[in-house]
């Protein structure tokens, strides 16, 4: 028997697979893959070459996002399919001064 999480992710994958790959689709997958705290503190920008650039909101969040990049990338592959997001580049926050 599948857990509720496995069942819901299966439904999400099926629904997303029927849609074209757009920035909005990748941003939605980012929210699911990163989780609430990381997603809230990183702004994703998807490029057609498979790169997801994430701008961190602070230096501390930059470190957190960078440390979790491989886990998030694996989750993105589970949601969108392998190769849609080939790599994640975590960028420094904008200068606040």
pLDDT tens, residue by residue, 59-70: 999 999 999 999
pTM of the predicted protein model? 0.83
Boundaries of every domain in the chain: 4-91
Q: Mean pLDDT score of the chain, rounded to an integer?
A: 89
32-76 pLDDT, tens per residue?
999 999 999 999 999 999 999 999 999 999 999 999 999 999 999
Total Cβ atoms within 10 A of residue 65: 22
Q: Which residue has the tokens 């074209």?
A: 20
Q: Tell me: the pLDDT tens digits for 6-23? A: 777 776 777 777 788 999
Q: Is the dihedral of CA 34, 38, 39, 45 positive or negative?
A: negative
Q: Is 53 exposed, middle or buried (0-12, 13-18, 19+ CB in 10 A)?
A: middle
3.30.300, 3.30.70, 3.30.750, 1.10.3470: CATH of 4-91? 3.30.300
Give the model's pLDDT for residue 96: 52
């Amino acid at each position: 028997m599948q857990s509720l999480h496995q069942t819901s992710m299966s439904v999400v994958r099926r629904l997303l697979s029927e849609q074209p790959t757009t920035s909005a689709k990748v941003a939605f997958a980012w929210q699911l893959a990163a989780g609430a705290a990381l997603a809230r503190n990183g702004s994703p920008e998807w490029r057609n070459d498979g790169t997801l650039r994430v701008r961190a909101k602070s230096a501390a969040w930059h470190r957190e996002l960078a440390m979790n990049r491989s886990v998030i990338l694996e989750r993105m592959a589970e949601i969108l399919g392998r190769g849609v997001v080939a790599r994640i580049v975590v960028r420094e926050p904008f200068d606040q001064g």
